[in-house]
Amino acid sequence: MSLFCTIWRREVASFFLMPASYAVVTFFLALMGLSFWLMVQMLMLGHVATPVSQVMFGESLFFWMAMLMVPPLITMRCVAEERRIGTMELLMTAPVGDATVALGKFAGALTVFLLLWIPTLSYVFYLSKLAPYATPLDVGALAGAYVGIGLIGAFFLSIGLFASTCTRNQMVAAISSFSLIAMYFFMGFTPRFTELPLLHQSAHYISCLTHMIDFSRGVLDSRPVVLYLSLTALMLFMSVKSIESRKWKA
């Protein structure tokens, strides 16, 4: 456990010690700021008839841009950069298991991801002042939205970690993970291109957009929760195996 905590703290600290990381933070806050600004404009014009949390987190283009692009930027250096500069080999010679390394790095990336969302909690105050009586702020729906962000974000980060274990190049890791995340995201739009009932049901079950809209309405269904926890566990298992295989190749 002490080794896991050491790797966890090291990952969080290394993110905030790198100047490029603040560009990621600025990019994320700019996207969420645009999302909030557009929603405020809609509220002022009286064009919002759905819960404001759904508009902010479920239906916003800028929200999904942040969700799809920020996890690859956080995880791209987790293993790839360490392989490039040679510190990964040094780490693997220490008395630490492959699973501990993978889980420690994932925990660090998830902590950074969740920390990025803390400033958005200030939106709660402004929404409580700006939301009209026709669309009051539902604290339960807002809490559900953040639960959805945590679950979907954890899955996307696990994809990014796996991509980072497969290469020594940060940019290749970022592009690979973004491609995989975008592929999964757009699979939820399959019903728009086919009428097959089986594909409709499958796409509805895996659709991030559908799940996030439900979460942001305060609907906590156990099926998407189990889905994202299972997929995250699967990707972490694959990350462990990837680290293990490359260790033996080295």
Rounded-to-integer distance, Cα 141 and Cα 52, Å: 9
Rounded-to-integer distance, Cα 158 and Cα 216, Å: 23
Domain count, the chain: 1
pLDDT digits (tens, 9 = 90+) for 114-136: 999 999 888 777 776 665 554 55
Structure tokens given for 169: 């190049």
Given this model, what pLDDT does residue 227 score? Answer: 93
Three-state DSSP class for 87? Answer: helix
Residues 6+ apart with CB under 8 A from 223: 205
Given this model, what pLDDT does residue 4 score? Answer: 83
Buried-state track 19-49, b at ≥16 Cβ within 10 A, e below 16: eebeebbeebeebbebbbeebbeebeeeebe
pLDDT digits (tens, 9 = 90+) for 14-48: 888 888 888 999 999 999 988 888 877 776 776 66
Given this model, what pLDDT does residue 157 score? Answer: 96
Mean pLDDT, range 1-6, rounded to an integer: 79
Which DSSP string corresponds to 45-83?
HT---S-HHIIIIIS-HHHHHHHHHHHHHHHTTTTHHHH
Domain range spanning residue 10?
2-249
